[in-house]
């Protein structure tokens, strides 16, 4: 290579010194050198290609000038080489110059311009500047189509664009792009092409990520077949595909199917590369990890020992791959009871990772939990606690930093992975019962951090940052800095560029300070909270309860999900950890198969006589399970007066989101709401960082008396003031099946009391100084709803009296039921996205509910999903009242709470939400609502006190919980 470069310099000097330039000879030599350079950089060797391309550049500049196509090509190759070597800024500059020159020479509709756009999109994708990446891909697509047709490069552009959507968690968009790319490649390249196979591979990854394992398996099997035919069964890339398919099988518990694939992959790597190659060691590592997961420790040990020996020879004893095999072998020995052999391996793995990766690294943090398990099994609890606290601090730091650059889906995946480790944290106080420990305090801090983390931090940061064009651009830059930093931090310490990292850290810190300074609320959204800060906000006669649920480790994982309370009072030296009950005790009450109607509610909120229970039945009442165990840790109430009740700020968890805790009876005459002033929060961190709403006007928007049957003329007339620019983006064609009921829930029949409700509210609001706009009948359109907060501040009050819906997760169905459902049910009802399976019905919604599409392509369908609501701006809305059925329900997603309408309106920026837990009766609902507004606006109560007062009045009037306890207020 050095000789080649020397010859190139001589060649350039020769052409430069020649009196007469032989243009044809120069062009021929340039083309020859381009062929060599292209082969190198496209083969993954950009560092070797770069000096050749620089000499091509000098040759062209000296002899041909810059105003020609070959110079444009040279700039593009320089850009690609720099980008591949992580010199992204330089790569961008070369490509931007190539873009300008290509347009000047040939206009915008040429393949050079399209290629520049495509490559710039790739650079911006690597930089984390996703919106810029998308813009370039979209600009390139029509040029490729016009110049070369919908062929190879058009499909490549679709494929790359799908990668952006995958990273942003936009799975539906990514899937459509991949499917289109697949169809084009199938026609143009055929089904035996490697590019086609790689598109199928990405599609399989998407399906695996979204839990569609059967579809992912089918595609991976096809990829396997293509690579088998094109590369042969002895190719290492083919072996890697087998390993990916095996990992999918392991993920779904199909260990017997995974094992032979891993064995075959191991044999291929051995035959192709030999037993001293790192790819062979990796195959052994994967096989050993599978045996560890299967509990087949006798098989796992020799495989992992072999991998360790190869790693030692190939990468050395200070490499993270060597540490991973040590760690797995140590875990094997722990499970075999060979503790003396396990400890040195686990400690060595920890030390290697700390040195090679740094202690802020994701892999280092995850590796600590095998050591925690060892210390717990051997009852070295003090050592276990130290490691647990270290792991917790690292994981929170990683997740907190990631909030400023990961997509919502990526954050959810990362948060869910870390949340699994929280099981050991929350289980630890039970294992160490009665012993002094720092873990309860750490558990409280973890609950403050993780509970609703994506909602309270990541989404709020984004929402604030994109509040205007200037801050949106600055935020995009901040994201790109953090993405690049994350890539550098993921490298081993020896491979990191300290100068680049320091420069990026300075830029990120500066940009973050700028946003904090210029965007109101940006700094508060990033603030992390400790239990001491929460305690400082408590007054005498107040207490905080963070409720948590977790899989119980004892110290190994069990099949039990436990609930506990973390209680904090003024003056406490640490929070109190109080175990409560096992989930199956509550599950039998909450997970009913039928509708959530009167019999369900009566059973849930009753005090059944003990003598009426089956002999030996250990089931307790809700009060006995949930509240009685923690009462002894609560401070006494100041007095017996209504205004002097003990105030309890509480945050529910898991299935407790489906309870009205204040309605839980203590006796036949008293509920928890009678004894305490209960304030439900998404997280008690809100006491330190409250959700603030800037009330821009004293107005209200009311929806009620809605006509659900389609009248296209009436709806078109109602929408005359709404253009596509005044509403948020439409969902497109999404469908449901028709369902029927007689309450404000599953039948989309006219609800006469909703009309009376909103009409009765108008004078109450007016007397309270609130100007109300009411949309009734066919005027209550989806277009009208989506126009809220667009161009003008959102109303102070948003009241929606209509049908609501929530469908449970289809993945909870057994396999056969799911297959039958997917064949017979519409897409929306069985969507994997929980925010699409819940929503509200607006004017004309019955047509789409039954047909699966709007009556006209340019109209909304009248079915407003939680996902669509989450895209709105309701940052000026103090109160949202969802006077509809089951609007408080949704999927329970780990520590993130309820994924449904509640989450949607919180993401949109609303402060208070009033929602329902079951199919509420129409007449009593309008009674409750009018009473609440009178208490709030006429009697000048606070929103929480007005709601409690209204519900108490309804209870005294009707007594049956079904008629008064269906609604909850959440701040």
Read off the DSSP letter of residue 457: I
Q: How far is Cα 496 from Cα 486, in angstroms, rounded to an integer?
A: 11
The rounded distance, in Å, linking the Cα atoms of 274 and 268 is: 9
pLDDT at site 577:
92
CA distance 349 to 347: 5
Residue 419: CB atoms within 10 A of its CB come to 21
Q: Verify cis geometry, omega within 30 degrees of 0, for the bond prior to 555.
A: yes
Higher-scoring residue by pLDDT: 558, 34:
558
Contact 745, 886 (CB under 8 A): yes
Mean per-residue pLDDT for 806-827?
Answer: 49
Residue pair 560/552 in contact by the 8 Å Cβ criterion: yes
Q: 3-state class of 487 per DSSP?
A: helix
Query: For residue 592, which phi and psi values (nearest 5 degrees)?
Result: -80, 150
**Most confident of the ranges 6-15, 30-39, 682-691:** 682-691
Q: d(Cα 269, Cα 285) in Å, to the nearest integer?
A: 13
| Cα 200 off chain centre by | 24
* pLDDT confidence band for 457 (50 / 70 / 90): low
Please report which residue ranges of 85-193 form alpha helices under DSSP H: 88-106, 111-127, 130-147, 152-167, 171-188
- In this structure, what is the dihedral angle of CA atoms 877, 882, 883, 886, given to the nearest 10 degrees? -170
Per-residue pLDDT, 968 = 85
Quote the pLDDT of residue 455: 55
Q: For residue range 617-626, list pLDDT tens digits in order.
A: 456 788 888 8
Q: CB atoms < 10 A from the CB of 764, how many?
A: 19
The radius of gyration computed from the CA coordinates of the chain, to the nearest angstrom, equals 31
**165 or 711, which is more confident:** 165
Burial class for 729, CB neighbours closer than 10 Å (0-12, 13-18, 19+): exposed
Q: Compare 171 and 456 and report the one with higher pLDDT.
A: 171
d(CA 492, CA 318): 10
With H, G, I as helix, E, B as strand and everything else as coil, classify residue 513: helix
Contact 115, 144 (CB under 8 A): no
User: Per residue in 324-358, is it b (16+ CB within 10 Å) or e — as a string?
Assistant: bbbbbbbbbbbbeeeeeebbebbebbbebbbbbbb
**CB of 843 within 8 A of CB of 780?**
yes
pLDDT above 90 (res 346)? yes
Is pLDDT above 70 for 187? yes
Please tell me the total number of residues recorded for the chain in this structure. Answer: 971
Mean pLDDT in the chain?
Answer: 79
Phi then psi for 843, rounded to 5 degrees?
Answer: -55, 135
Name residue, tokens 């408590």.
538
pLDDT at position 71 over 80: yes
- Residue 824's pLDDT is what? 43
Cβ atoms within 10 Å of 242's Cβ, excluding its own = 25
Q: Give the predicted TM-score (pTM) of the model.
A: 0.70
Distance of CA 839 to the CA centre of its chain: 19
Task: Please say whether the beta carbons of 49 and 96 come within 8 A.
Answer: no
Q: Residues 184, 151: contact at Cβ < 8 Å?
A: yes
Instruction: Count, in order, helices (H) and strands (E) of the chain.
Output: 42, 16
Contacts of 855 (CB under 8 A, 6+ apart): 710, 712, 844, 847, 848
> 166 near 160, Cβ under 8 Å?
no
- Provide the token pair at 815: 């396999």
Order of strands across the sheet with 646-651? Answer: 576-582, 557-568, 542-553, 646-651, 676-680
CB-facing half-sphere around the CA of 853: CA atoms within 13 A: 5
Q: Determine the pLDDT at residue 573.
A: 93
**List of long-range contacts for 434-438, beta carbons under 8 Å, 24+ apart:** 435/381, 437/381, 437/385, 438/385, 438/389, 438/574
Please state, in angstroms and rounded to a whole number, the distance separating the CA atoms of residues 124 and 527. Answer: 29
Torsion sign, CA atoms 955, 961, 964, 967 = positive
Per residue in 426-440, pLDDT (tens digit) is: 888 877 765 667 888
pLDDT tens for each residue of 259-292: 999 999 999 989 988 898 888 998 999 999 999 9
Q: From CA 89, how far away is CA 891, in angstroms rounded?
A: 43
Distance, C-alpha 482 to centroid of its chain: 18
Q: What is the pLDDT of residues 692-748, one digit of tens each?
A: 777 778 999 999 999 988 766 666 666 666 554 443 332 222 333 333 332 333 457
Phi, psi angles (nearest 5°) of residue 389: -65, -40
In this predicted structure, the answer to whether residue 40 has a pLDDT above a threshold of 90 is no
Question: Could you read off the pLDDT of 305-331 as tens digits, one per residue?
Answer: 999 999 888 888 888 889 999 999 999
- 838: three-class secondary structure by DSSP: strand
For the segment 141-166, the average pLDDT, to the nearest whole number, is 85
User: Tokens 């407003």 belong to which residue?
Assistant: 864
Are 894 and 655 in contact, with CB atoms under 8 Å apart?
A: no
Concatenate the DSSP letters of all residues of 789-800 into one string.
TSSSPPPSEEEE
Higher pLDDT, 510 or 679: 679
Give the per-residue SS3 of 906-969: HHHCCCEEEEECCCCCHHHHHHHHHHHHHHHHHCCCCHHHHHHHHHHHHHHHHCCHHHHCCEEE
Q: How far apart are CA 483 and CA 479, in angstroms?
A: 6
According to DSSP, residue 793 is labeled P
Instruction: Judge whether 949 and 956 are in contact, CB under 8 Å.
Output: no
Nearest one of 439, 604, 461 to 965, comparing CA atoms: 604
Best CA proximity match to 116, nearest among 160, 52, 72: 72
- The DSSP output letter for 720 is T
In the prediction, which pLDDT does 318 show? 86
What DSSP character marks residue 553? E
Residue 674: HSE in the Cβ half-sphere, 13 Å Cα cutoff: 13
Q: Are strands 863-865 and 898-900 parallel, antiparallel or unpaired?
A: unpaired
Is the per-residue pLDDT at 14 higher than 70? no
Lowest pLDDT segment from 405-419, 507-521, 522-536: 405-419
Residue-wise pLDDT tens digits, 636-660: 776 655 567 899 999 988 888 888 8
Helix (H) or strand (E) holding 611: none
Give residue-wise pLDDT tens across range 471-482: 777 777 776 677
Task: Report how far residue 875's alpha carbon sits from residue 133's, in angstroms, rounded to the nearest whole number.
Answer: 29
Report the distance separating Cα 80 and Cα 59, nearest Å: 19
| Greatest distance between any 2 Cα atoms in the chain | 112
Confidence of residue 959 (pLDDT cuts 50, 70, 90): confident
Highest mean pLDDT among 106-110, 505-509, 858-862: 106-110
How does pLDDT run across 917-932, given as a tens digit for each residue?
Answer: 777 777 888 888 889 9
Whole-angstrom distance, CA of residue 544 vs CA of residue 546: 7
Q: Which of 113, 121, 173, 181 is nearest to 143 (CA)?
A: 113
Least confident among 109-113, 200-204, 303-307, 626-630: 109-113
């Amino acid at each position: 290579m050095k000789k080649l470069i020397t010859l190139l310099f001589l060649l350039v000097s020769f052409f430069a010194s020649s009196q007469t330039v032989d243009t044809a000879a120069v062009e021929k030599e340039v083309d020859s050198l381009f062929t060599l350079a292209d082969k190198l950089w496209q083969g993954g060797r950009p560092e070797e290609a770069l000096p050749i391309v620089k000499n091509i550049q000098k040759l062209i500049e000296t002899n041909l000038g810059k105003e020609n196509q070959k110079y444009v090509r040279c700039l593009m190759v320089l850009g690609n080489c720099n980008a591949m070597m992580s010199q992204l800024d330089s790569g961008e500059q070369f490509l931007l110059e190539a873009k300008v020159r290509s347009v000047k020479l040939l206009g915008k509709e040429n393949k050079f311009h399209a290629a520049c756009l495509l490559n710039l999109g790739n650079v911006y994708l690597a930089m984390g500047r996703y919106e810029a990446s998308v813009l370039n891909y979209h600009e390139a697509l029509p040029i490729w189509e016009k110049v070369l047709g919908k062929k190879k490069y058009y499909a490549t552009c679709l494929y790359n664009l799908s990668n952006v959507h995958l990273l942003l968690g936009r799975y539906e968009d990514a899937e459509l792009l991949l499917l289109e790319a697949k169809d084009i490649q199938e026609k143009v390249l055929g089904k035996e092409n490697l590019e086609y196979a790689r598109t199928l591979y990405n599609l399989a990854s998407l399906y695996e990520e979204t839990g569609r394992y059967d579809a992912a398996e089918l595609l991976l099997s096809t990829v396997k077949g293509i690579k088998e035919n094109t590369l042969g069964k002895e190719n290492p890339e083919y072996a890697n595909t087998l390993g990916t398919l095996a990992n999918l099988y392991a993920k779904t518990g199909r260990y017997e199917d995974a094992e032979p694939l891993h064995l075959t992959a191991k044999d291929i790597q051995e035959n192709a590369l030999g037993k001293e190659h790192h790819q062979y060691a990796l195959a052994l590592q994967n096989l050993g990890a599978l045996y560890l997961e299967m509990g087949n420790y006798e098989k796992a040990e020799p495989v992992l020992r072999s991998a360790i020996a190869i790693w030692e020879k190939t990468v050395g004893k200070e490499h993270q791959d060597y540490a991973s095999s040590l760690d797995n072998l140590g875990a094997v020995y722990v499970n075999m009871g060979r503790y003396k052999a396990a400890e040195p391996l686990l400690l060595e793995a920890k030390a290697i990772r700390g040195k090679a990766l740094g202690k802020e690294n994701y892999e280092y943090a995850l590796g600590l939990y095998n050591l925690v398990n060892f210390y717990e099994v051997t009852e070295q609890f003090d050592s276990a606690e130290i490691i647990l606290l270290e792991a917790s601090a690292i994981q929170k730091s990683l997740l907190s930093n990631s909030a400023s650059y990961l997509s919502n889906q990526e954050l959810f995946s990362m948060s869910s992975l870390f949340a699994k480790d929280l099981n050991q944290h929350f289980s630890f106080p039970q294992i160490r019962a009665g012993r002094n420990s720092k873990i309860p305090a750490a558990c409280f801090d973890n609950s403050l951090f993780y509970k609703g983390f994506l909602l309270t931090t990541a989404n709020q940061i984004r929402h604030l940052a994109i509040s205007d064009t200037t801050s949106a651009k600055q935020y995009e830059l901040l994201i790109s800095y953090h993405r690049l930093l994350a890539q550098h931090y993921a490298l081993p310490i020896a491979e990191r560029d300290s100068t680049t990292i320091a420069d990026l850290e300075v830029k990120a810190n500066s940009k973050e300070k700028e946003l904090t300074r210029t965007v109101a609320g940006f700094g508060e959204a990033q603030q992390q909270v400790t239990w001491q800060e929460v305690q400082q906000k408590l007054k005498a006669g107040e207490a905080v309860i963070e409720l948590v649920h977790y899989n119980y480790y004892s110290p190994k994982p069990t099949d039990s999900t436990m609930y506990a309370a973390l209680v904090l009072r003024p003056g406490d030296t640490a929070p109190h950890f109080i175990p409560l009950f096992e989930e199956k005790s509550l599950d039998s009450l909450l997970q009913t198969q039928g509708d959530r109607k009167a019999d369900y509610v009566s059973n849930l909120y009753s005090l059944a006589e003990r003598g009426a229970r089956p002999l030996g039945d250990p089931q307790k009442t809700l009060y006995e399970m949930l509240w009685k165990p923690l009462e002894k840790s609560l401070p006494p109430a100041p007095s017996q007066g209504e205004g002097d009740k003990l105030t309890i700020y509480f945050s529910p968890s898991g299935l407790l989101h489906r309870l009205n805790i204040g309605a839980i009876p203590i006796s036949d005459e008293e509920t928890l709401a009678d004894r305490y002033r209960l304030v439900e929060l998404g997280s008690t961190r809100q006491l330190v960082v409250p959700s603030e709403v800037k009330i821009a006007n004293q107005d209200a928007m009311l929806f009620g008396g809605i006509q659900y049957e389609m009248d296209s003329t009436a709806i078109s007339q109602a929408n005359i003031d709404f253009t596509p620019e005044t509403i948020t983006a439409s969902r497109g064609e999404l469908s449901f099946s028709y369902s029927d009921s007689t309450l404000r829930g599953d039948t989309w029949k006219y609800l006469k009391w909703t009309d009376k409700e909103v009409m009765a509210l108008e004078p109450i609001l007016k007397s309270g100084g609130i100007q109300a706009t009411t949309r009734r009948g066919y005027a209550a359109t989806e277009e009208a709803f989506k126009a809220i907060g667009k161009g003008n501040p959102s109303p102070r009050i948003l009241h929606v009296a209509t049908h609501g819906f929530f469908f449970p997760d289809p993945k909870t169905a057994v396999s056969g039921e799911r297959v039958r459902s997917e064949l017979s049910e519409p897409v929306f009802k069985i969507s994997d996205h929980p925010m699409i399976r819940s929503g509200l019905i607006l004017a004309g919604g019955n047509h789409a509910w039954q047909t699966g599409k709007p009556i006209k392509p340019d109209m909304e369908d009248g079915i407003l999903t939680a996902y669509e609501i989450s895209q709105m701006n309701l940052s000026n809305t103090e109160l949202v009242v969802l006077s509809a059925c089951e609007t408080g329900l949704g999927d329970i997603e780990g520590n993130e709470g309820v994924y449904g309408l509640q989450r949607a309106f919180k993401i949109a920026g609303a402060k208070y939400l009033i929602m329902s837990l079951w199919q509420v009766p129409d007449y009593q609902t309008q009674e409750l609502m009018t009473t609440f507004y009178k208490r709030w606006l006429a009697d000048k109560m606070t929103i929480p006190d007005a709601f409690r007062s209204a519900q108490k009045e309804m209870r005294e009037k009707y007594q049956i919980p079904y008629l008064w306890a269906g609604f909850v207020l959440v701040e």
